[in-house]
Structure 1
Amino acid sequence: MSTSMATGSAQLDATAAPPRLSIAGDWTLAHYHALERAVAAIGTPLAADVAIDTNQLGALDTAGASLLAGLLGNERLSKLASTDPHLPTAQRALLQTVGTAMAGYQEPRRARRGNALTDLLARIGAAMENIYHQQVRLLGFIGLTLQTFAQTALRPRRWRVTSLVAHMEETGLDAVPIVALLTFMVGAVVAFLGSTVLADFGATIYTVDLVAFSFLREFGVLLTAILMAGRTASAFTAQIGSMKANEEIDAIRALGLDPMELLVLPRVLAMLAALPMLTFLAMIAGLVGGGLVCALVLDISPVMFINLVKSDIGVRNFLVGLAKAPVFAFLIAVIGCLEGFKVTGSAESVGEHTTSSVVQSIFVVILLDALAALFYMEMGW
């Protein structure tokens, strides 16, 4: 065996009997391009009666062994590695390993290029499947939340009163300014638009009914729920998600505590208590905003405004709007907590699931509000 750093070569002597292939020099990565040209010049496959001479073979690595596999074929390479007495043990093992690996190699199939329609349908299908799995997980989490509430309701020692009060302050009291301000301005806008449109029909007095109906039945609870979905659901997801990323939830379980009882239940109960109160505040603020516009633009005094509301708007409208608040509150809190538990452990995951909780909460609130409106209309309420 030669120990020189000469470039490897492969020469086929077709005049000999039998034909002889002489392999010499270093078959290494440094000489790969020259070796590749030499192998291409000989052509493959070799005849079965060609003898292989490796007496002058120098250094050998996996790059050179792969070229020999392409030149000789996997079976002949493995046979050469097991029968040639001139090859050192290390080179035999290398040729045997490369031959076995090349024998099991399959050319990967090229991915079929789909057209725009099939790609669109595939993305729609994947999105629908993802929505289905999300709803299944949401239903399971709702059941787990209700089970935890049933287990702790009759055990006062397990109530997390301090946590409940803290979350009520965070979700309810701290949200009062933004809810009151937003609904006040929306009430003013509704009254202004109503007075502008109804003036063409000489019915500006019905602006009072428009504001009262819209806020008592729809706008009060809907605007409040959307604000809480963007403000509180995201906060729940970020808080629980950060704990999940820092492995604090695993530590809670290691201490023998239930994360549902410790983290989820106080947030859900706080939202159930806060959202109806905020909804009532939103209704009042919307009526005040509409009453202010009526007083300034339509010369309808506050006393007249209140008397019209009392005479034209029944208590049923107020109860219909307020009845939706606990349902919205429960779903917003559950979705926010569930997305927090889905966080995998990075800041990016926290951001993604926070966004997802807001989008899901707003979508669910609007969908249920539309279904409730249809139901109330069919029931004549």
Structure 2
Amino acid sequence: MTEATLQDDRTDSGRVLRLGGRWTVAHIGTIAPTLEALGDSNDPVTVDMSDVERIDTIGAWLVHKLIRDCDKATLANASDDAKRLIDQVGEADNTVQVRPDQGSVVVKRIEAIGKGVVGAIETLGTFLAFLGKTLVVLAQELVSRRRMRWNAVVSQMDVVGVNALGIVGLLSFLVGIVLAQQGAVQLRQFGAEVFVVNLIGRSTVRELGILLCAIMVAGRSGSAFAAQIGSMKLNEEIDAMRTIGMSPFDVLVIPRVIATSLMMVLLGFYGSMMAILGGGLFCWASLGMPPISFFQRLQEVVPLSDFWIGLVKAPVFGAIIAVTGCFQGMQVTGNAESVGQRTTAAVVQSIFLVIVLDAFFAVFFTALGFV
């Protein structure tokens, strides 16, 4: 017997389908249409494979499909190899879920941009509300002379300022050396190495010293504020403060804003001096300019207005860094992953706002005639 056969017997207990012959791809063609019709039966069906000589994957699939489509089908008298093959085919019988149409890539991109713009506007509005509330609470504490938490302010000044002296001084010193070296290389082409002092003095005192210090404080302290307040919010410590009548703004936000604003003035001045020191040492070692000549030239070319402009910008940068860090910390929700996301957002937004404000100050003071 070579061709596949199928005998349909009806008994009192249901239908018996007796399979015989070779259930392989070469001999199964005439049986397949008959099996399709049998799959619609609701009667109990017994599939008897006692007369099957050989079966391959195609035959196993047809038998598996028959048993699957009949609600009350059972397999009888199948060899171990046939059972194993039918089981393997059944394990691979997974319904393929067709992915829905994803639509146009251009439309998706435009939609993502739109959501990003809406999200940015909502975040800006929430941030401005938070900034306004911070200023109101700060004004109330100054005007009504409510008890300021000076212990918290001093503690934050130590964290933001004293502990940052090492990293701020080192990086500012190195930036001063790099600035002097690059300026000397370019000015040497025109025989104007003496103007390296102008470059170092005016750029560090007026712009780079304060800006680099603000960026370092944003990465160091702004992220710490967001992580600390975010962790407290996850642990429901902020809710506990409100329950016992303590304002999170009084306890957490205001001390950090005051401490960062005050310490940014000192750190900015310190960073500018370290950058000048680095540039002066390079000029002494590479250009042969004595330190006395360097500092005399520095006094001649750097107006006092540059010094005051740098000090005016410093507390503003410090306040915006502290407010941004506290704001992102207050936005933490859900789980610890949100803390990491908000901490990253605090650093990015702080640096962005600092650079935007620096550009605004540059245009503003230039318009006033401080060039």
Which bracket does the TM-score occupy, shorter chain normalised? 0.7 to 0.9
Correspondence 1:204 to 2:179: no
Match of 1:281 in 2: 270
Shift of 1:23: 7.8
TM-score scaled by length of structure 1: 0.72
TM-score (norm 2): 0.73
Amino acid at match of 1:255: I
Deviations 1:269-313 (A, max 9, x none): 000111011000011001100000011111111111111111111
Question: Which one of 78, 90, 105 corresponds to residue 116 of structure 1?
Answer: 105
Runs of 5+ unmatched residues, structure 2: 1-12, 16-40, 46-66, 74-98
Gaps of 5+ in 1: 8-21, 38-109
Residue 175 of structure 2: aligned partner: 186
Q: Structure 2: how far apart are the matches of 1:370 and 1:235? A: 26
Q: Deviations over 1:313-337 (max 9, x none)?
A: 1101111122111111111100100
State the shift of 1:121 in Å: 1.6
Q: How does 1:173-252 map to 2 (within 5 A)?
A: 173-252=162-241
- Residue 338 (str. 1) matches residue 289 (str. 2): no
Distance 1:157-1:367 versus aligned 2 partners, 3 A rule: closer
Please name the residue that 2:353 is paired with: 364
Amino acid at match of 2:254: L
Q: Are residues 1:149 and 2:138 paired?
A: yes
Residue identity in the other structure for 1:248: E
Residue by residue over 1:229-254, the C-alpha shift from the partner in whole angstroms, topping out at 9 and shown as x without a partner, is: 10000000011001000000111011
Preserved CA contact (<8 Å) 1:184 1:286? yes
Which residue, 132, 145, 153 being the options, matches 2:121?
132
* Aligned equivalent of 1:296, options 285, 298, 312: 285
Contact 1:183 1:282 in 2 (8 A): yes
Aligned to 2:91: none
Tell me, what secondary structure is at the counterpart of 2:332? coil
Cα separation, partners in 2 of 1:345 and 1:116, compared to 1, 3 Å: closer
Task: Report if the CA contact (8 A) 2:223-2:344 is conserved.
Answer: yes
Equivalent residues of 2:42, 2:70 under 8 A apart: no
Letter of the structure 2 residue corresponding to residue 354 of structure 1: T
Give the secondary-structure state (helix, strand or coil) at the position aligned to 2:70.
Answer: helix
2:246 to 239, 257, 269: 257
CA displacement at 1:25 relative to structure 2: 7.2
Kept in 2: contact 1:191–1:207 (CA 8 A): yes
Cα 1:24–1:279 shift into 2, 3 Å? same
What amino acid does structure 2 have at the position aligned with 1:363?
F
Residue 354 to residue 292, structure 1, CA distance change in 2 (3 Å): same
Distance 1:374 1:6 in 2: 93
List structure 1 segments (4+ residues) > 3 angstroms apart after TM superposition. Answer: 22-26, 154-157
Q: Deviations over 1:47-70 (max 9, x none)?
A: xxxxxxxxxxxxxxxxxxxxxxxx
Q: Give the letter aligned to residue 153 of structure 1.
A: L
Q: Which moved more, 1:311-320 or 1:148-157?
A: 148-157
Structure 2 vs 1, CA of residues 24 and 253 (structure 1 numbering), >3 Å: closer, same or farther? same
How far apart, in 1, do the equivalents of 2:337 and 2:304 lie? 48
Across the aligned residues of Structure 1 and Structure 2, the Cα RMSD in angstroms comes to 2.6
Aligned-partner Cα distance in 1 for 2:295–2:72: 95
Aligned AA for 1:189?
A: V
Q: CA-to-partner distance for each residue in 1:154-182, whole Å, 9 max, x for gaps?
A: 45452101111000000011001110110
The equivalent residue for 1:33 is: 69
Question: Of residues 352, 361, 365 in structure 2, which corresponds to 1:376?
Answer: 365
CA distance in 2, matches of 1:134, 1:6: 70
Query: In the alignment, is the contact (CA less than 8 A) between 2:181 and 2:282 conserved in 1?
Result: yes
Amino acid aligned to 2:343: T
- The whole-number CA distance in structure 1 between the counterparts of 2:14 and 2:329 is 64
Q: How many residues align?
A: 291
Q: Counterparts of 1:251 and 1:228 in 2: how far apart (Å)? A: 30
Q: Is the 8 A contact 1:233 1:357 kept in 2?
A: yes
SS at match of 2:350: helix
Check 1:6–1:148 CA distance in 2 against 1; reply closer, same or farther (3 A cut).
farther
Shift of 1:24: 7.0
SS of the counterpart of 1:159? coil
State the alpha-carbon separation in 1 of the partners of residues 243 and 222 from structure 2: 27
Match of 1:65 in 2: none
Does the aligned pair in 2 maintain the 1:343–1:350 contact within 8 Å?
yes
**Which of 312, 316, 320 is residue 323 of structure 1 equivalent to?**
312
Taking the aligned partners of 1:134 and 1:242, their CA distance within structure 2 comes to 20
Equivalent pair of 1:236/1:333 in contact (CA under 8 Å)? yes
Question: 1:36, CA displacement in angstroms?
Answer: 11
Checking the alignment, whether the CA contact within 8 Å between 1:244 and 1:345 is kept in structure 2 is: no
User: How many Å separate the matches in 1 of 2:207 and 2:107?
Assistant: 41
SS state at 2:102 partner: coil
